[in-house]
Amino acid sequence: MAYRILILGASYGSLLGTKLLMAGHDVTLVCRSKTASLINSKGTDVRIKLRGEDEARAIRSNEQTGKLDAVVPANVDVDAYDLVALAMAEPQYGTEEIRALMTRIAKANIPCLSIMNMPPLAYLHRIPKLDANSLQSAYTCPEVWNDFEPGLVTLCSPDPQAFRVPGEGANILHVGLPTNFKAAAFQSPTHTLMLRELEQDIAEVRLDDSDVPVKLRVFNSLFVPFAKWSMLLTGNYRCVTTSGVRPIKEAVHSDLELSEAIYHHIDAIALRLGASEDDQVPFEKYARAANGLLKPSSVARSIDAGSTDVERVDLLVKLIGDQLGMSHEAVDEIASTIDSRLSQNRNVAA
């Protein structure tokens, strides 16, 4: 059956949205008014390379089986959707319009699939060994999650990497690393079945008889998405230095021994929470992939551009480690550096 899916965030969200459209499902993107008008008039355009091809294909929404539209937050009819995907950066959920929409989504009891790097606070309430209430300081607006039933929120590791090119339209997205979305199951078997149906529908999509990268994978383990934490703390957040930013490759490979130590420490935190070795990605595989990551991470670029709030996965992992008695000097230093740079940006903006 065809599902109707609401996606909050038209940038990264358009990647998941395009895969769903190709599989025959209808998608609504929530975004600013100007972007919504552009998408409603021209559709979205996601550029992705198929296996064995040198040039990226342009996959346009108006050529797919599913239907796409875009709306501003105030115009969303939450009762019209089977699933909500959360694809905005965590600080954006604190804005007045998005907070109001999130309240309506929570009260409608719609299952929510997060593809944020930062796990929704409601999801962390599903982890028995965590005191989620003590982690609120890592969130820009923790109260936005108060009305959500934890069992209706699940997490999907946003492993695929995508970017917009300056000067191009806000409806165009380039996929740099076409890996898979890895989702944990919902508490309800009925909602998990919906995810598995979407997984299967996306897997069957072909373009000129060729497989299309970026799949949705569904796992029973709650901890599979936490594998991304080791990558983020080892690479993405270490792109931020006291004086500037550096590429992910440099952050990882300039001191490979330290990088490996940080990576394994974060893996150990996930294991303590209940993850298994099978939930995790070997450091060697990540280190090889990092050789091709020649730009600073998005969080680093955002901080360097003057942002005063970013997703604080670094701080969240530090707080979880502290809670479990698993502090680490390098993790503390990462969080301290991010704190300092954000403080500088806030002083400039004041």
Q: Where are the domains of the chain?
A: 4-219, 226-349
- In DSSP notation, 138-198 reads GSSSGGGGTT--GGGEEEEEE-SEEEPPTTS-TTEEEEEE---EEEEPPSSHHHHHHHHHH
Q: What is the pLDDT of residues 276-287, one digit of tens each?
A: 999 999 999 999
Residue 134 has pLDDT above 90, yes or no: yes
The Cα 100–Cα 94 span in angstroms is 9
Q: What is the pLDDT of residues 307-340, one digit of tens each?
A: 999 999 999 999 999 999 999 999 999 999 999 9
Of 3.90.650.10, 3.55.50.30, 3.90.1520.10, 3.40.50.720, which CATH number belongs to 4-219? 3.40.50.720
Residue 99 has pLDDT above 90, yes or no: yes
Which residue type sits at 199?
E
Question: CB-based contacts of 280: which residues, under 8 Å, 6+ apart?
Answer: 227, 230, 267, 270, 271
Instruction: Give which of 11, 9, 29 is closest to 21, Cα–Cα.
Output: 29
Number of Cβ within a 10 Å radius of residue 228: 21
> What confidence score (pLDDT) does residue 163 get?
86
Of 1.10.3470, 1.20.1050, 1.10.10, 1.10.1040, which CATH number belongs to 226-349? 1.10.1040
Q: How confident is the model at residue 161 (pLDDT cuts 50, 70, 90)?
A: confident
Q: DSSP alpha helices (H): ranges in the chain?
A: 13-22, 33-42, 96-107, 121-124, 189-203, 227-231, 248-253, 256-273, 283-290, 298-304, 313-323, 329-349
The Cα 70–Cα 76 span in angstroms is 9
Residue 166 has pLDDT above 90, yes or no: no
Contact 77, 123 (CB under 8 A): no
The Cα 240–Cα 273 span in angstroms is 28
* Structure tokens, 76: 């969303």
Contact 202, 215 (CB under 8 A): yes
Contact 272, 326 (CB under 8 A): yes
The label of the residue with tokens 């955002």 reads 302
4-219 and 226-349: identical CATH topology: no
Question: Average pLDDT of the chain?
Answer: 96
- Give the phi and the psi of residue 161 in degrees, each rounded to 5: -110, 135
Q: What is the pLDDT of residues 9-60, one digit of tens each?
A: 999 999 999 999 999 999 999 999 999 999 999 999 999 999 989 899 999 9
The Cα 22–Cα 67 span in angstroms is 10
The Cα 232–Cα 238 span in angstroms is 8
The Cα 54–Cα 312 span in angstroms is 36
Q: How confident is the model at residue 157 (pLDDT cuts 50, 70, 90)?
A: very high
Q: What is the pLDDT of residues 100-115, one digit of tens each?
A: 999 999 999 999 999 9
Residue 183 has pLDDT above 90, yes or no: yes
Contact 241, 337 (CB under 8 A): yes
